[in-house]
A and B are shown apart, each in its own frame.
Chain A
Amino acid sequence: MNPHYSKERLFLLIIILFLVIVAGIFNGAVNIPWQQLFLKENQPIMNLRIFRIIVAIIAGSGLAISGIVLQAILRNSLAEPYILGTSSGAGLGAVIAITLGLSRLYLPLAAFIGAILSVILVYNLARQNNKIQQQSLILSGVIISIALSAIIVFLVSLSRNESLHEVTWWLWGSLQVYDLKLLFFVSLIVIFGISIIYLFSHDLNAIVLGEEEAIHLGVDIELVKKILIIITALITASIVSICGIIGFVGLMVPHIMRMVVGPNHKILIPLTCIAAAIFMVVCDFLSRIIFPPLEIPIGVITACLGAPVFIILLKRKEGIK
């Protein structure tokens, strides 16, 4: 990919992002003419919408970049935090923390522990004779994801905790902001995580060619893999702890962007960041305007859009064999 083209595309994406942000701010459950939105009495509504958009941007970019990393290091184009069960692990960790009555600021930590444990579990399930079987990796990811989601539902239905009873959104995602401190903390983690991942773009390019190939290009593969898996678990866990489990974002956006700008991570990562932010802001917009004043969980929207993409990719993969 010619870097000049990618600069133009970056510019174009930023403009689109700006436009969807504006659209997101001026439209919502409560209909207010835009001139009045800037009035002081409407300030809380304005803030609410702005925070929502921030959550959408953070969640979209973080999940999409995690998807890119997992697809590269597992060399499997179907890998993604949701499909590999990382999101469910994080969700379970967070729900346990709420059940135990821990402070909300501990949520990312609890979610991270859950995410890492589920990664280790899925990895070991998929391993036969010290080799990760590509098909069984996805299979064990989906199985673990279903099992952990079931435990979440079980805990929720047992608990007397009123706040938990309303948390079906853990399973389908919501961009509602309930804790500004937590949002700030999570945004920091995600921005930091994506920056570190970007530092590894050459390594990711090499790893895509195969682990042995990567070693021959001077990449310390075991170390790089460990760092990147921990960072994706951290990003996923942070996002899950503020907006629950949102699936397929990490699958869909990277794939579309690979078709548009090519697979070179140096270009792919920044452009996917912005494209995924656009995608999430639009999904959030859809979730609010399809049945107003009802709000459809964001995960339902991303699943409706993402599941077909997953099926197409799966079919195409089988076609190659």
Chain B
Amino acid sequence: MNTVELINLSGGYHKEIVIDGISCSIRKGSFSGIIGPNGSGKTTLLRLIGRVLVPYRGKIRLEGNDIGKMGLKDFCRKVAFVTQDNVINFPFTVFEIVLMGRIPYLKRLQFESRHDREIAERALIMTDTIDLRDKMIDELSSGERQRVIIAKALAQEPEVLFLDEPTSHLDIGHQIQILDLLKKLNKAADLTIVMVIHDLNLASEYCNHLILLDKGKIFKEGAPRDVLTYQNIEKVYKTVVVVEKNPINSKPYVILVSREKS
């Protein structure tokens, strides 16, 4: 079953077209990756789906309903976003931040109930951040912080979670930690996950569906072994690569080749 469908979607900033007539669908329970070179429209696509930008043309459907016609709060109870590089200037504690994931469920002037607090606590446990509960958000390391931001998204009890480069600025240990967490949520909580990711090998390792964007259009879409071929990558990224099989799980493995002879 498809949970998110994009139908001939176009959009961008100041009348400039960044996303140009994209149609695709995300299956329920899938772990999808959006890949493509800088400027190919990955973040813009997430902003369109997240209703930060209004599409110029086309439609986005969530479980068959046009999202443009859904109430914003209803929409945010089903779909959560983890954006890139969010700066928090105010001295909130970790728990206060995660509890904000309940805002789509609250009426004006309503305080968070015990139920809301329990859900926020469960999100902290799932992301292994419960020990950080009373720390200030600016005291955390980048890895801890990213897990807290994911916990906030989980407190929204979404059916689909979108993430924009969740592993940028993290070392390899923390990258794996975050992606393993997402994999666990995908499997155990039956959460549909769509993430923008730069690292093609991580995309290959974790995603079961890849969308390769180029200049605002879908260049290729499908299983990692069909998308991550050297022909596709060389054409889109304009760089020489060798694609091998990962000896452990036989998934595609992309090796970069320098043009300078060493």
- Residues on A facing B (Cβ under 8 Å): 1, 3, 75, 77, 130, 198-202, 205-206, 208-210, 212-213, 215-220, 258-259, 262-264, 266
Q: Is residue B242 contacting chain A, with contact meaning CB distance below 8 A?
A: no
CA distance A130 to B92 in the complex (A): 29
CA distance A12 to B100 in the complex (A): 28
Name the segment of B20-28, B101-109, B229-237 touching the other chain. Answer: B101-109
Given the interface contacts A199-B109, A213-B83, A216-B81, does A263 sit within 8 Å of B91 by beta carbon?
A: yes
Q: Do A219 and B103 touch (CB < 8 A)?
A: yes
- Residues on B facing A (Cβ under 8 Å): 14, 47, 50-52, 72-73, 75-77, 80-81, 83, 86-93, 96-97, 100-101, 103-104, 106, 108-109, 111, 156
Q: Do A216 and B109 touch (CB < 8 A)?
A: no
Q: Do A77 and B83 touch (CB < 8 A)?
A: no
A316: shortest Cβ distance to chain B, in Å? 11
* B47 CB contacts on chain A under 8 angstroms: 212
CA distance A36 to B174 in the complex (A): 74
* B83 CB contacts on chain A under 8 angstroms: 210, 212-213, 216
Q: Could you list 13 examples of A-B contacts with CB < 8 Å? A: A1-B96, A202-B103, A202-B108, A208-B88, A208-B90, A212-B83, A212-B86, A217-B101, A217-B103, A217-B104, A217-B156, A218-B73, A262-B92
Q: Do A266 and B111 touch (CB < 8 A)?
A: yes
Smallest Cβ-Cβ distance to A266: which chain B residue: B111
Across chains A and B, which 9 residue pairs bring their CB atoms closest together, nearest first?
A218-B76, A218-B73, A218-B104, A263-B90, A216-B81, A217-B103, A199-B108, A218-B72, A208-B90
CA distance A215 to B100 in the complex (A): 12
* B100 CB contacts on chain A under 8 angstroms: 205-206, 209, 217
CA distance A219 to B75 in the complex (A): 11
A1, A130, A202: which contacts B106 (Cβ < 8 A)? A202
Smallest Cβ-Cβ distance to A77: which chain B residue: B89
A1, A75, A208, A215: which contacts B52 (Cβ < 8 A)? A215
* B103 CB contacts on chain A under 8 angstroms: 202, 205-206, 217-219
* A264 CB contacts on chain B under 8 angstroms: 92, 96
* B50 CB contacts on chain A under 8 angstroms: 212, 215-216
Smallest Cβ-Cβ distance to A267: which chain B residue: B111
A273: shortest Cβ distance to chain B, in Å? 15
* B87 CB contacts on chain A under 8 angstroms: 210
* B92 CB contacts on chain A under 8 angstroms: 208, 262-264
CA distance A217 to B93 in the complex (A): 18
CA distance A266 to B83 in the complex (A): 25
Q: Do B76 and A217 touch (CB < 8 A)?
A: yes
* A3 CB contacts on chain B under 8 angstroms: 111
* B81 CB contacts on chain A under 8 angstroms: 212, 216
B121: shortest Cβ distance to chain A, in Å? 15
CA distance A139 to B128 in the complex (A): 43
* A202 CB contacts on chain B under 8 angstroms: 103, 106, 108
* B104 CB contacts on chain A under 8 angstroms: 217-218
A77, A198, A258, A262: which contacts B96 (Cβ < 8 A)? A262
* B86 CB contacts on chain A under 8 angstroms: 209-210, 212-213
CA distance A304 to B247 in the complex (A): 71
A263: shortest Cβ distance to chain B, in Å? 4
B163: shortest Cβ distance to chain A, in Å? 11
A112: shortest Cβ distance to chain B, in Å? 25
Smallest Cβ-Cβ distance to B14: which chain A residue: A130
CA distance A190 to B72 in the complex (A): 30
Given A208-B92, A212-B52: 18 more A-B contacts, CB < 8 Å? A77-B90, A130-B14, A200-B108, A202-B108, A205-B103, A209-B100, A210-B83, A210-B87, A212-B47, A212-B83, A217-B101, A217-B104, A218-B72, A218-B73, A218-B104, A219-B72, A220-B72, A264-B92
A226: shortest Cβ distance to chain B, in Å? 16
CA distance A266 to B73 in the complex (A): 19
B88, B89, B91, B106: which contacts A262 (Cβ < 8 A)? B91
* B88 CB contacts on chain A under 8 angstroms: 208-210
